[in-house]
Structure 1
Amino acid sequence: MTSKAPIVVIEDDENDKLFIQEAIKSLEVINPLVFFSNGVEAIEYLIATLEPPLVILCDVNMPNMNGIELRQLIDLNAYLKMKSIPFVFLTTAADQGLVNQAYSMTIQGYFKKETTFALLKAQMSAIIDYWDKCLHPNSSFND
């Protein structure tokens, strides 16, 4: 890993949260993980923090503010939009309508959560490795 920016995970299911946390931990990722249970908590953090996250991994179905609503709010907020934070849906809700709606909102990925630890670990590795190496407005160009 070259980036030490936090990885934001927005997930309301405690079992899924632990599963994701263990998968990322087993990859020996150095980035801190920052968890939120809903979009309201996440948006408050994203507005308050100065350091843009490496990537946001967001569930679709959550209480208070779901993932679709959160992404819409980020796109409407000029400050957050300028942070250019990669936004990826990681969810069990996978149907054509949701995928179409999500991609109409400038997301960078939509993944159905894997159901085994080995597959989830591989999925997390691919997502994190991609965003660690991908150049985007938050990249460090001094290296």
Structure 2
Amino acid sequence: MNPPLNILLIEDDAIEIMKLHRAISSLNLSHNIIEAHHGEEALEILEQKDNLPDIILLDLNMPKINGIEFLSILKNNDILKYVPTIILTTSSNQKDLLECYKIGVAGYVLKPLKYDEYVSKIENLLKYWSMNELIKL
């Protein structure tokens, strides 16, 4: 069994936050979720470099700093650029997808409408990152 992941979830929608918690709970996973409701809050959390997350789940459509702007800030930081960041969004816009990969995103996952499909995607995503070798900074 792999140790639980420390996951920074950057999401402004309370329903989406609850949905992720519910999915992780239904899968009987013990990952630690740290919540940030927008990019500025996430940057404040990440400034505490003594406890960086193993992965970041990032929504694109957020107030203050959108996901692409946040990703650019992250990837221009000499320490934070190594934290795998996965876009978790409803945006199937090809321009967003290309821009995220150009900046250096580790993955781009579309949130399906059906809850069962969402749980399956979350399960596969977290299974992959649980067995992947992560850099501990």
Q: Under TM normalisation by the shorter chain, which class is it?
A: over 0.9
- Residue 7 of structure 2 contacts residue 33 of structure 2 at CA under 8 Å; is this kept in 1? yes
Any idea what SS the aligned residue of 2:35 has?
strand
Following the alignment from structure 1 to structure 2, what is the Cα–Cα distance between the partners of residues 116 and 128?
Answer: 19
Question: What is the CA-CA distance between 1:33 and the residue it aligns to?
Answer: 0.8
Question: Percentage identity across aligned positions?
Answer: 29
- Residue 91 of structure 1 contacts residue 111 of structure 1 at CA under 8 Å; is this kept in 2? yes
- Residue 54 of structure 2 contacts residue 134 of structure 2 at CA under 8 Å; is this kept in 1? no
Question: What is the CA-CA distance between 1:52 and the residue it aligns to?
Answer: 2.8
Question: What is the CA-CA distance between 1:37 and the residue it aligns to?
Answer: 0.8
What TM-score, normalized by structure 2, do the two folds share? 0.92
Any idea what SS the aligned residue of 1:50 has?
helix
- Residue 10 of structure 1 contacts residue 56 of structure 1 at CA under 8 Å; is this kept in 2? yes
Aligned to 1:104: 102
Question: What is the CA-CA distance between 1:22 and the residue it aligns to?
Answer: 0.6
Aligned equivalent of 1:92, options 85, 90, 105: 90
Aligned to 2:34: 34
Query: After superposition, what is the alpha-carbon deviation per residue over 1:36-87, rounded to whole angstroms, capped at 9, x for unaligned?
Result: 1101101110121423322111100100111111111111112322xx2110
What TM-score, normalized by structure 1, do the two folds share? 0.89
Following the alignment from structure 2 to structure 1, what is the Cα–Cα distance between the partners of residues 134 and 32?
Answer: 20
Following the alignment from structure 1 to structure 2, what is the Cα–Cα distance between the partners of residues 128 and 5?
Answer: 8
Any idea what SS the aligned residue of 1:56 has?
strand
Aligned to 1:136: 134
Any idea what SS the aligned residue of 2:56 has?
strand
Question: What is the CA-CA distance between 1:15 and the residue it aligns to?
Answer: 1.3
Unaligned runs of 5+ in 2: none
